[in-house]
Structure 1
């Protein structure tokens, strides 16, 4: 299952030139932003997504921007899917330097209202999918002394209500990052995580529609309201998370491993208390 398009990037700041990156969840949202940034900086990108439609769209967009990409698709919680994604990288580009795991889903509910099936679904994509990708990719990344970057969330550290499965899964990813970083250091591989705050993605907009009357105006107002929770006063754009990932995958971050980089616009730096109004 694959799709190929694109030409080599012609730019002056190709910090990832000659490198090959597999981005799971790379066809939409944060993952797409990451794939576009890395391609713009010279990497050959393998875009993995759930369905061919969105993968083809992202691969085409990267190619139209002058980047180089190939695509694979399938359920990320199945071992064969990640094996095929890694094989696609090796077939197309002959190597694999970096893995970025951005595939993720969010479901709502507390410990009573969340079904066992929903719990397993969230952990299947958010945690099992990351492990399977690392399991398949790391033998090749070790050869290149490359990197793994795991997209976690601020909700691994602080949580809202009614997201018990999502929050638990993101906490697991932070623990997995530490374990992988310690193990892979012996192989010259660095492993880090990025913890975004609210990012303007299809998943965020779906949530905004759920918690508003659902009109386009109401969705925009809800997103703007969520943005004001961040010290910078807005939600992030996917490419801003891509820039954080690009840094961690670059030689500029050569002494950083086992770290969690918060790209949250100051969300967790801020407390809820407000100063009293001046007279």
Structure 2
């Protein structure tokens, strides 16, 4: 019997939650296709997978460009002939007050996180349909709690959650499971840089700033990228075969709404 190479695509795979997810999924899949804009950072992430005994296919592509979603899918299909799962994580959104956000900043956030994920899902869909695979969209806990301070983040996350639900509806027809993941405050490099600025502005150590920020958010601690990666691994595993159209929130209890 010919072995089929089970393949997953992970975007935003060069750092943070994306890198942690790619490393975790290398345990479950024969090949992890890793997509990010930074070729050097992507090579480092791919090397980590290979050193652990996995297989990686690094693809340095900017998913803000409409043609790159199809290019990624074509490269993966050529390498393995199948796609079993897609995990959309890429998409840094400007963190600025509603009154200060420019049209360009709104467009940049939408072009990567929303349209980039949408295009990749559409391009990969025929392969996911054939493999009866799984699709993940990365939203965020802020989708349920819009604020002026994080207007673009919360608005685009809410749109991503709705998009995931729409794809899940089509997935009921085509046999593709679709879920969204909504992390809260996680210690990514971007988050730690924000905390460092917060600490400097208040004359605090970074450690004290982490505790202070967590206390203000009403949580015991920040989450870790590995914890989100584990949730994603479960969501696309056979153990979650009956779960689709679900928003999976992991935020340490910060969101008080049901």
TM-score (norm 1): 0.85
Alignment length (residue pairs): 255
1:232-247 matches, within 5 Å, as 233-247=220-234
In the aligned structure 2, how far is the partner of 1:244 from the partner of 1:237?
11
Structure 2 residue matching 1:262: 3-state secondary structure? strand
Partner residue of 1:151? 138
Structure 2 residue matching 1:100: 3-state secondary structure? strand
Are residues 233 and 77 of structure 1, via their aligned partners in 2, closer, same or farther at CA, if it must alter by over 3 Å?
same
The answer to whether 1:266 aligns with 2:216 is no
- Shift of residue 263, structure 1, vs aligned partner: 1.3
CA-to-partner distance for each residue in 1:42-73, whole Å, 9 max, x for gaps?
Answer: 44100101110111000000111111111101
- Shift of residue 223, structure 1, vs aligned partner: 2.5
Partner residue of 1:6? none
The answer to whether 1:208 aligns with 2:192 is no
Q: 1:112 aligns with which of 99, 106, 111?
A: 99
- Shift of residue 169, structure 1, vs aligned partner: 0.3
CA-to-partner distance for each residue in 1:224-249, whole Å, 9 max, x for gaps?
Answer: 33334567611111111111111110
CA contact (8 A) 2:93 2:108 kept: no
- Shift of residue 83, structure 1, vs aligned partner: 1.7
Structure 1 residue matching 2:32: 3-state secondary structure? strand
The answer to whether 1:173 aligns with 2:140 is no
Q: 1:192 aligns with which of 163, 169, 179?
A: 179
The alignment yields a C-alpha RMSD, in angstroms, of: 2.2
Are residues 41 and 230 of structure 1, via their aligned partners in 2, closer, same or farther at CA, if it must alter by over 3 Å?
farther
Partner residue of 1:66? 53
Greater mean deviation of Cα atoms: 228-237 or 111-120: 228-237
Q: 2:111 aligns with which of 114, 118, 124?
A: 124
- Shift of residue 108, structure 1, vs aligned partner: 2.6
Are residues 43 and 236 of structure 1, via their aligned partners in 2, closer, same or farther at CA, if it must alter by over 3 Å?
farther
Greater mean deviation of Cα atoms: 231-240 or 182-191: 231-240
Are residues 267 and 229 of structure 1, via their aligned partners in 2, closer, same or farther at CA, if it must alter by over 3 Å?
farther
In the aligned structure 1, how far is the partner of 2:192 from the partner of 2:237?
31
Are residues 42 and 96 of structure 1, via their aligned partners in 2, closer, same or farther at CA, if it must alter by over 3 Å?
closer
Greater mean deviation of Cα atoms: 171-180 or 206-215: 206-215
The answer to whether 1:254 aligns with 2:241 is yes
Q: 1:91 aligns with which of 62, 78, 96?
A: 78
Partner residue of 1:53? 40
Structure 1: stretches of 5+ with no match in the other structure: 1-16, 272-279
CA contact (8 A) 2:83 2:127 kept: yes
Structure 2 residue matching 1:256: 3-state secondary structure? coil
Which structure's residues are more often helix, by fraction? 2
Partner residue of 1:34? 21
Structure 1 residue matching 2:200: 3-state secondary structure? coil
CA contact (8 A) 1:152 1:173 kept: yes
In the aligned structure 2, how far is the partner of 1:178 from the partner of 1:189?
12
TM-score (norm 2): 0.91
